[in-house]
Structures are given as C-alpha cells and as structure tokens.
Amino acid sequence: MDRYAVVGNPIEHSKSPLIHAMFAEQTGQQLEYGKLLAPLDNFIGSVRDFLREGRGVNVTVPFKEQAWALVDEHTPAAERAGAVNTIMRREDGSLLGDNTDGKGLVRDIQVNAGRSLKGLSVLLVGAGGAARGVIQPLLAAGPQHLCVINRTVSKAEELAALFVDQGPIAAAGLQWLVEPVDLIINATSASLAGELPPIPDSLIKPGHTWCYDMMYGAEETPFNRWASERGAARCIDGFGMLVEQAAEAFALWRGVRPDTAPVLAALRQA
C-alpha cells in the first residue's frame, strides 16, 4: 500500500492524517498516511529514509525551506515561494517539490467564502515564509493591488521585489497605511502567541473589509477577534486553507482532487 506522511517538529497536533484519510475514503484510494517527527538537526535524513518506500510527504514547520533544498525539481509555485510543503517521489526515484499553500488560501477565499479577489485592495501582514508562499497565487487572482506590510520594512520591500513581475505589488511599514482596504490577510504567527500585529484600526471599513487569519485554533484567533470588534464584514481563519492545500497535495500524488466541502464541514463540526 502506498505510504505518505506529514513531517514536522512538533507534529503530534497535526490534522493531516485525518484529512487525508477522509480524502482517500471519498475517492476510493488505497493509501496509508501517518505522522513523522523529524529531529531538528536531521530533517533530510528522516525524509530520505521514509521516501525509500514512501510515495510522498507533506512538510510543515520548521522544515519547508530545507525541503526546498532537498528536492530535485520544483514546481513553478515552489520555485517562487522558496519553500516546499509537498514532496512526491517519482517512478525514477527523483523528488518533485510543490508548494500548495497559496493555492489553498486563494481557493478558500474564492470558493469556500465566495469572495473573488479580482479588483480588490489586499493587505498582506508579514514578510516571512508564510507570506512568501502565498503571494504568487494571490497576484494571479487579479487584485487591484497587493501591499506587503511588515515591522521591518526592508523585509517587506525585498519580498515585494521578488514578485514585481507577477502583478501590482508594493511594500510598507505596519503603521504607514491608514486608509481602509477590501481584504486584510494575517500571515504572521502572532495569533499563536495570543498577540496582534500592531496595525491601525482604520484599515477596516465597518461592514466592508474582510479579514483572514492564516492561523487557526479551537477559539477565534486574536486577529479575527480584533477585526470583528472593529466591524469587519467577514472574519475567516486558516482551517479552510489547511484542508484546501491538503487537497492540492492529494491531487498531485493521486491524480484526483477530492471534494473538500464535506471534509471541511465534518472537521469543523468535530
């Protein structure tokens, strides 16, 4: 039976085995999917050992950049992102690396939430790996403009410069912008620490601005709570993105894309 796994450190909390088990049942695919705890100092060895027999892995924190360096070939999405979250072992033994995070984010917003990104003013908070992984798919969706804001402005500027050929993108400091925007995406990990990125309240136009936190948890994230209290029209967490990016990985491995709606509904209910 074909074996797959999600690899990270820590990894015990991961929902990926449950998600892929539901995908497999829905599509009639025979596979095993587990968790792989990789030592912080031996990610590459752990993955190579698994992929001697295994067919693929999903990669989570903190190994996505190491995964990029490990694979033999990158998809265009992974090449742009500078990080890999999905590895497939091909028949000749070579490793293909993809990054499905951005596709998952865009699909969650446009399909699950029903909000087209075309023509919108979009603010992306943060300039780390999570932000870099989603910029190209965001720009491909046709926003009016995308602005990356970050505490260290030079990092935002460097990130924007990498994608200037992909669409209308700019950079700014966290407090530089005050006018409302259509959509704010939090790509920082502040919510995991119970904190907020220090951005102005005026960026939210009550009843109009949507807010999306790429983090998720059992409770509303601090970012989404802040947005809701300031009248945001819609607040969405990153759980849908998790399921959608997993579906993209499943499609790469198995050649069939599962229907994510019933899986997402079942997981949210649980």
* pLDDT tens for each residue of 160-215: 999 999 999 999 999 999 999 999 999 998 888 888 999 999 999 999 999 999 99
pLDDT in tens, 217-270: 889 999 999 999 999 999 999 999 999 999 999 999 999 999 999 999 999 888
pLDDT in tens, 48-80: 999 999 999 999 989 999 999 999 999 999 999
> 3-state class of 115 per DSSP?
coil
Q: Which domains does the chain have, with CATH numbers?
A: 2-99 (3.40.50.10860), 102-239 (3.40.50.720)
**Looking at the annotation, which residues are catalytic?**
64
pLDDT for position 39:
97
pLDDT in tens, 42-55: 999 999 999 999 99
- Residue 99 to residue 85: CA distance in whole angstroms: 5
pTM > 0.85: yes or no: yes
Neighbour tally for 113: CB within 10 Å: 13
Mean pLDDT to the nearest integer, 123-132: 93
Which residues are part of a known binding site for shikimate?
14-16, 60, 85, 101, 216, 245
pLDDT in tens, 14-27: 999 999 999 999 99
Which residues are part of a known binding site?
14-16, 60, 85, 101, 126-130, 150-155, 214, 216, 238, 245
pLDDT for position 218:
85
Which residues are part of a known binding site for NADP(+)?
126-130, 150-155, 214, 238
pLDDT for position 135:
97
All residues at 6 or more sequence positions from 138 whose CB lies less than 8 Å from its CB, including other chains = 102, 105, 106, 117, 122, 124, 146, 185
184 contacts 197 by C-beta, under 8 angstroms: no
pLDDT for position 118:
98
Q: Half-sphere exposure of 182 toward its Cβ, with a 13 Å CA cutoff? A: 13
Structure tokens that stand for 222 in this block: 């601090």
Mean pLDDT to the nearest integer, 97-103: 97
38 contacts 48 by C-beta, under 8 angstroms: no
